[in-house]
Amino acid sequence: MRIMFVGDSITIGSAGDHTWRYRLWRGLSRRTAVEVVGPRTALYDPATDAATSHAYADPAFPQQHLAGWGEGWLHMAPLIGPAVAAHRPDVLLVALGLIDLGFYTNAAQTTQNVHAFVTAARESNPRIRMAILPVLRNVVAANDPSFDAECAHFNDLLTKTLAELSTPTSPLTLVEPPTPWPYESATHDGTHLSPAGERVLADVFWRALEGDWGTSAPCR
């Protein structure tokens, strides 16, 4: 099984992180043959304000991904088709949206980019499967009711969109995070994942994939 992680800052992670990618890979690789693929390998480095670090907490981890600090559906929609064609993933594990709503697009516009992303991925692999995470509430949403409402609106649109676009040959699975998302304990700054948050996010993606692999275990 070839998997590609697609995401923003919580997926790329920072220098010194394990990342939730690592936590999920460890769990999956104990149960099934998994190959991690993607065009990028770096972590974000606060010292350079760019994706220039390879200082993973476990350097033995397969580091490939398609994630970027400050990148969202808007940025990944044009990249996903060529990435799927070049790296041939069977499954996309996607965590995007917060940065879009915070800086670039409203809920309806972000949903249009979800459509474009799914279409482009399927053009490169008509049988691609995707597990997609809704926007996680963060400290900004907790303190800004209008932004919180926009995130909730997008999540409603995302749920409907995945149901509409999912097909038997290319299923789209909505990943269900804990409700409410425990951002105080799951992050170190209200947004970016702590080790506990890495484990929680890995576990919710695992549960979304249970139907594919028929097994369940915590990711650590």
Structure tokens at 184: 């105080």
- Residue 179, pLDDT > 90, answer no
User: pLDDT at position 139, please?
Assistant: 87
Structure tokens at 139: 């400290």
**How far is Cα 127 from Cα 122, in angstroms, rounded to an integer?**
7
Mean pLDDT value across the chain:
93
3-class DSSP state for residue 59?
A: coil
- Residue 174, pLDDT > 70, answer yes
In percent, the amount of the chain with pLDDT more than 70 equals: 95
User: pLDDT at position 213, please?
Assistant: 47
Q: Which residue has the tokens 């790329």?
A: 12
Specify the pairing of strand 43-45 against strand 50-53: antiparallel
User: pLDDT at position 211, please?
Assistant: 65
In percent, the amount of the chain with pLDDT more than 90 equals: 83
- Residue 158, pLDDT > 80, answer yes
Structure tokens at 67: 């994630």
**How far is Cα 79 from Cα 71, in angstroms, rounded to an integer?**
11
- pLDDT tens for 87-105 read 999 999 999 999 999 999 9
pLDDT level of residue 217 (50, 70, 90 thresholds): very low
User: pLDDT at position 167, please?
Assistant: 97
Strand residue runs (E) in the chain: 2-7, 35-36, 43-45, 50-53, 66-67, 91-95, 129-133, 172-174
pLDDT level of residue 218 (50, 70, 90 thresholds): very low
Q: Are 54 and 14 in contact (CB under 8 A)?
A: no
Q: Are 100 and 76 in contact (CB under 8 A)?
A: no
Q: Which residue has the tokens 């693929």?
A: 37
- All domains of the chain, ordered by start, with CATH? 2-213 (3.40.50.1110)
